[in-house]
Amino acid sequence: MPLKQVGVYGWGIVAPRSPDMESFARNLESSETWLSSFDGFGPDPFLVGQPEFDFERYREWIDERFPPNRYPQLLSKMDPTTLFAIGAFIQSLEQNPGIEAVLQELGTAAHVYIGTGLGALPTLHDASIALDRAQRDWDRFWAHPDRCQALRAYLDDPEGTREELGAEVPPDPSEGIEDDFERVDAMRRWNHFWAARSDGLREYLDALTEIEGISVAGEVESGKMKALRKKEKEKTRLQERWGAPPPPWTQVTTNVLWNIANTPASQVSMMGRITGLSFAPVAACSTFGVALRMGMDAIRRGEARAVVVGATDPPPHPLIVGGFYRGRVLAADREVSKPLTGLRGTHVSGGSVIWVVGDREFMESRGFEPLGMEPVSVGVSSDADHIITPSREGPTHAIRQALDGAGVQPAEVASWDLHATATPGDYLEVETMRGVLPADVLVTARKGTFGHGMSAGGGWELTAQYLGVARGALYPTPLNPAELNRQIGEMHGSFVFDEACPAPRRPVGKLSMGIGGVNACVLSCPLEATKATT
C-alpha cells in the first residue's frame, strides 16, 4: 500500500531582517548577508543574526480570539523563544484561509510538534542573576554578628572556635585581599559560610516552617483562599519582625516554569485551540527535520490528518555567543564567515519557523493548496561518536535512508542544501555528500546569509529551498566563486554562488547535522511531479 502523501499548507518565519514570509522571500533574492554586529558584551568582535520581530503585529489576531488579558499575559510571561513561535504560527494560517478552523475541527487528529535547540536562555539568565543578588543579600543579613552567635564566638576566639566548627573557615575578606573582585568573591563565601550557622536564621526558619504548614480546612475552594491569605499575613509579620530581606526562593520568577522546552508547542496549541498531542522534539540543529519526520509519520500512521511542526530559538545572547566561541566554532573577526570558504566558524542567530503539514488527499479535498514542494521522506540517524564533530557514517545513513524512503536514486537528485557551518566540518560534509551523490548535483549553503539558528536554521534553509524551487530559481548565496575553499572546490564544482540559478524540476535534498550527532535529511519533490491521489 503506498504511503500517504504529505503537503505543506501553511508556513511562517521569524528570522534576521525577516519578520514574515513575504520579507523572507524578498530578502532571499539578494546575495547580501543578513548578519549584523552583536555588541552584547559591549563592543565585541561578533556578527549575529538578530531576528526582526514585533509581537504587537499579532495583537489584533489574539484580541479577536481571547480575553483582553491574554496578550499582556503572553508579553509578561513568555520568553522571546515562545513569542517567535506564536508569531510564526499565526503567519502559517494566512496562506490557506480556513485552515485554522480545520485544525480545531480535527480534534485529536491535529498535532503540534515544535522544538527548540537552546530553550529560554534569556529568561533563565535573568532569573539566575536575580537569584544571585537575592542570595547575596540574604547571606549578608543572616551572617551579621547580631544574628549569628557562631560568628561572634569566632571573632572573639578564632583558634578555639575553628575546632568546634569542624569545617574550614573561609578567609576573612577584610584581611589582606587587595584585588576588588577577589574581595567581593571572598565576601560572598564568608557570608554564605556564616549564614548557614546563624542561630537567627534557624529561629526564622522554624517560624516559617510553622507558617507554611498551615493546611486547607473545610470546603476546598474557600479553605484554600483562607489558608493562602493567612500564610501571606503571617509571613509579612515574620519579615517585619526580623527586618530581613526577601528569602531568595521568593525571588525566582515563575517564568522559569512557564518557559520550559514544551512551552512553544503548548502555547501554539492554546493559540490555535488544537486539542491533539503537542510536544517538543529537541534535536539541536536537526530539530526541524526531526519534527517534520515525526509529523509525517503521525499522518502516515493515521494518527493525525494535520500537524503543526517547527523550531524556535532565542535571540543571540551572551551565554549563547560565549558558549559557541568557547566551543571553537564561532567566527570572531567582525567579518561574515561564509560556508565553504575560510572555515573560520559560524554566526549564531535567533528566530522561528513553523509549517502546517497535512495529509494531501484530506487537505486538498477541503480546498487547501499545497505550498512549495512535497516532503517525501526524512532520514534520521545518530553519529554515536562525538558531541560536535560530525562523522561520515551518521549523515550517510540519514541520506541513504531518505533516498530509499523517497524511492529516489542518487542520480535523480538535482539540488542539495548543506548544513555547512563555515567550520572545517564543511569539508567532511561535502566529502560525505559526494560519497552518495553525483558530481552534477547543484549545492547551496546558506548560513552566510542568515547565520546559524540552533534549531530554526534547518527550517529556514528548507523553506528557502522550497520557495526557490516553487518559483523556478535557486536563490543566490553570499558565496563568491573566487572564495570557494580550494580543497572543497577540487572535490565538488557545482555550487550556487552569488547569482540565482534555474531550479531543476527534480528531487532535492537538505541535510542538517545537530550537536550530539543527530542527523536529519529531507528529500522533497516538485509538486507537479507528485499530484495528490484522489
335: left (phi > 0), else alpha (psi -120 to 50), else beta? beta
Report how far residue 88's alpha carbon sits from residue 375's, in angstroms, rounded to the nearest whole number. Answer: 20
Q: What is the pLDDT of residue 305?
A: 98
Residue 532 has pLDDT above 60, yes or no: no
Which tens digit of pLDDT belongs to each residue from 168-191?
889 888 887 888 889 899 999 999
Tell me which of 98-102, 385-389, 400-404 is least confident: 385-389
Distances (CA, A) of 155 to 115, 142, 186, 440: 55, 16, 17, 80
- The identity of residue 468, as a single letter, is G
- For the chain, the residue count is 534
- What angle (nearest 5°) sits at the alpha carbon of residue 310, between those of residues 396 and 365? 100
C-alpha cell at 8: 505543506
315, 298, 362, 357: which is closest to 92 by C-alpha? 357
**Cα dihedral across residues 178, 182, 186, 187: positive or negative:** positive
pLDDT exceeds 50 at position 534: no
The residue extents of the domains of the chain are 6-120+259-529, 125-250
CB atoms closer than 10 angstroms to residue 144: 16
Residue pair 443/415 in contact (Cβ under 8 Å)? The answer is yes
Q: Which of 32, 75, 4, 15 is nearest to 499 (CA)?
A: 32
User: What is residue 180's predicted lDDT score, i.e. its pLDDT?
Assistant: 85
Region 101-128: what's the mean pLDDT? 97
pLDDT category at 266 given cuts 50, 70, 90 is very high
Position 290 scores a pLDDT of 98
Query: Half-sphere exposure (CA, 13 Å, Cβ side) for 150?
Result: 21
- pLDDT score recorded for residue 533: 47
CA distance 504 to 338: 25
Would you state the pLDDT for residue 405?
A: 97
For 111, residues 6+ apart whose C-beta sits below 8 A from its C-beta are: 274, 276, 277, 278, 295, 298, 303, 304, 306, 307, 308
Per-residue model confidence as pLDDT tens digits over 485-501: 999 999 999 999 999 99
What residues pair up with 310 in beta bridges, in sequence order? 114, 354
pLDDT at 529 over 90: no
What pLDDT does 388 receive? 87
Cα(60)–Cα(58) distance, integer angstroms: 6
Q: Is residue 227 pLDDT above 90, yes or no?
A: no
Using the predicted structure, report yes or no on whether residue 294 has a pLDDT greater than 60: yes
Q: Which amino acid is at 325?
A: Y
Nearest to 464 by CA among 162, 154, 16, 21: 21
Paired with 474 in beta bridges are 501
- Mean pLDDT, the chain, rounded, equals 95
Query: In 3-state terms, what secondary structure has residue 319?
Result: helix
What does DSSP assign to residue 49? Answer: B
Asked if the model's pLDDT at residue 530 lies above 60, the reply is no
What is d(CA 278, CA 294) in angstroms, rounded to the nearest whole number? 12
Residue with cell 480546498: 367
Q: State the pLDDT at residue 166.
A: 72
Q: Look at residue 287 in the predicted model and tell me its pLDDT.
A: 98
Q: Which residues 6+ apart lie within 8 Å of 31 measured at CB?
A: 476, 477, 478, 497, 498, 499
Q: Which residues contact 132 (CB under 8 A, 6 or more apart)?
A: none
Q: What is the pLDDT of residue 531?
A: 59
Lowest mean pLDDT among 123-127, 161-165, 454-458, 518-522: 161-165
Average pLDDT over residues 128-151: 97
Contacts of range 407-412, beta carbons closer than 8 Å, 24 or more positions apart: 408/376, 408/377, 408/507, 408/523, 408/525, 410/436, 410/437, 410/438, 411/438, 412/506, 412/507
> What's the whole-number mean pLDDT along residues 46-65?
98
What DSSP line would sit under 133-188, residue for residue? HHHHHHHHHHTSGGG-HHHHHHHH-HHHHHHHHTSPPPPPTTSS--SHHHHHHHHH
Q: How far is CA 177 from the centre of its chain?
A: 42
**Lowest-confidence range among 133-142, 211-220, 413-422?**
211-220
Q: Which pLDDT does position 240 carry in this prediction?
A: 95
Considering only CA atoms, which of 23, 26, 11 is closest in space to residue 85?
11
CATH topology of domain 6-120+259-529: Peroxisomal Thiolase; Chain A, domain 1 (3.40.47)
